Amino acid sequence: MYTDYCLKFTDAAQCMATLFTEQTTLQGDVVETVQQPKYAAIDVIGTIYKPTGKMLTNEEGDYPEMAAVPGYHANVRHSEPAPELEPFAVVPTSPVRGWA
């Protein structure tokens, strides 16, 4: 059984600091930094764009104007509840992405 979270952060830095641990290793004279996930599965969505309702036109035809939804978004699936994620949890009415 998994616990799923839809999350909204203020920006990418807050998202990455919350969901990953940065690990740096030194092998000879090569420094390698990797992001280690803190949870079973992480889907970083980033900025979500939604239609504004206004149509725009260019030489290829009409297309919807898009505007960024506030925040920086991610989904997390974890093997147990993660109460530290609750401050970032949101309940979208129509999720852009989710777990299958």
pLDDT, one tens digit per residue, over 40-81 is 999 999 999 999 999 999 999 999 999 999 999 999 999 999
**Domain extent listing, the chain:** 3-90
The pLDDT > 70 percentage for the chain reads 100
Q: How far is 20 from 38, CA to CA, in rounded Å? A: 5
Q: What is the pLDDT of residue 36?
A: 95
- pLDDT category of residue 94 using cuts at 50, 70 and 90: confident
Report how far apart the first and last C-alpha atoms of the chain are (Å, whole number).
14
pLDDT at 1 over 90: no
61 φψ region: left (φ > 0), alpha (ψ -120 to 50), beta (else):
left
* Average pLDDT estimate for 13-20: 98
Structure tokens at 45: 């969505």
Question: For residues 81 and 74, what is the distance between their CA atoms, to the nearest angstrom?
Answer: 16
DSSP, collapsed to helix, strand or coil, labels residue 48 as coil
